[in-house]
Amino acid sequence: MPSRETRTSIIFAGPTSDALVQSMEQPSCAVRTLYDAIGELVTSDATTLVEAVVIDDMLLEKNGEQHIDAIRRVDPTSIIVVRGSHAKNTGADASVPYDCNERILTSAIANALSKPIDANQNEETEKDLDEILGLVDAVDYVQETTNLGDTDLVRALMHSPSSFKEVLLRLLQQQTKWSYCSILNDTQSAPADSITAPLRYGHEEHGFLAATGATSDDITRWARWTACWLNLARKQRQLKLLAYKDELSGAWNRRFLRTCLTKELQIAKNQRRPLTIMIFDIDDFKHYNDKWGHDAGDEIIREVVKLLQSIIRKGDHVCRIGGDEFAVLFCDPTPPREPGSNHPTTVEILARRFREQVSKARFPKLGEEATGSLSISGGLATFPWDASDVDSLVEKADQRLYKSKRLGKNSITIGREE
């Protein structure tokens, strides 16, 4: 897949003023429907690669998420910009006013391009880390609602981090008797009858504390106390991420895979759902490291993870489990995903697409002659057909990875023939 920097053209979908299309410096085309936009994306050739799809929000009134999903399936890296006021919750990369000009649109696309592909996904997984790993279930935790104290905050932090802020505010209200209090990102959203104080701990910012019925002294004192707890929660989350993330690639690490797979396997058993793991490595990775140096090798690792994260579904996890060895856990935690869909087939399609995308990818540090020369070999194993415990499932996927290697590399062995 070409890197984003090489993309040049823009597709406008929906009613668009000719003036805007013509004012674009990049080659642009306007189509009537999103179906046509997808057709344009697929038929665009190497000289007119698509950088962005600009969609009139009118086209997203019904099933907006599916429409965005459809574009991402066909081209995971083109930027999706929604024109108009109904851009929220569609999953688009950027939004612009309906009457925007060329400068605003170009700037929105440039901003979206500068974000990492998986920015939103990371935010979400960080938030739900404890739930993904099942750490919150480790202790039977019952949340108190009255007579709260510091111990309840510590317990919430340990066993239910997602409800920590809620417990913190409840305790604050019980202690102060304020009629309202809230933690806000900015002071503008505070109610008119409230006063606010910044939540700062050292150099760390945590937003603002807003309260109704508080004196200025009161709120300053309690804001310091609240910031201290918020900082502790943030540090704890950062430490957890350090323990479970791979620093180089930003993917999850081997520890995460083991913990998450154990938990997901139990869920799959309880809900009688299949669970698939794909293990793959980059063919002849040592050769790339030796020939172009470790910097180039590191870039390959990072790009492969980015590419993979742009292809997998929400709920799937990418892990780096060795030097150039990766695992993808196809979890998809929202059953039933599509009652008619066949889980292993869907996963096979994702795996196949990923292999194809890697083989087309460009890695600038390897020079022009290396374009399209990268390939991967992998193996897929699915519970319940291939194994029913963590070790056997990983081993099965590993065996198939080596089978792919023996068969001449650049392939993914699924294992149905066995």
Partner 1 sequence: MPLNTNNLPTRCVVLVPLNRIDTAEHVASKYELEIIIEHHAILAMAEICLLHQEATSKQAWNSEARTIQLVLVHAQELDGLPELLAAVRSYLPSVRIVELRDGQLEEVENHGAIIDALDDLPVIHTENVDADELSMLLDTPEGEVEE
**Interacting residues with partner 1 (CB under 8 A):** 33-36, 38-43, 62-63, 66-67, 69-71, 73-74, 338-341, 345, 349, 352-353, 356
DSSP classification of residue 258? H
Give residues with Cβ within 8 angstroms of 165, minimum separation 6.
Answer: 183, 230, 233
Least distance (Å) between residue 62 CB and partner 1:
6
Whole-number minimum distance, CB 414 to partner 1, in Å? 14
Enumerate the H helices of 214-362 as residue ranges: 216-244, 254-271, 285-292, 294-311, 343-360
Distances (CA, A) of 50 to 74, 102, 192, 371: 12, 17, 47, 19
Q: How many helices (H) and strands (E) does the chain have?
A: 14, 13
- How many CB atoms neighbour CB 249 within 10 A? 21
Q: How far is the CB of 37 from partner 1 (least distance, A)?
A: 9
CB of 268 to partner 1, least distance (A): 22
Residue type, 239: L
Q: How many beta carbons lie within 10 A of that of residue 381, not counting itself? A: 25
Residues 6+ away with beta carbon under 8 Å from 387: 381, 393, 395, 396
Q: Which is nearer to partner 1, 74 or 153 (CB)?
A: 74
Count of CB atoms situated within 10 Å of the CB of 57: 19
Q: How far apart are CA 332 and CA 303, in angstroms?
A: 23
Query: Cβ of residue 339: shortest distance to partner 1, in angstroms?
Result: 6
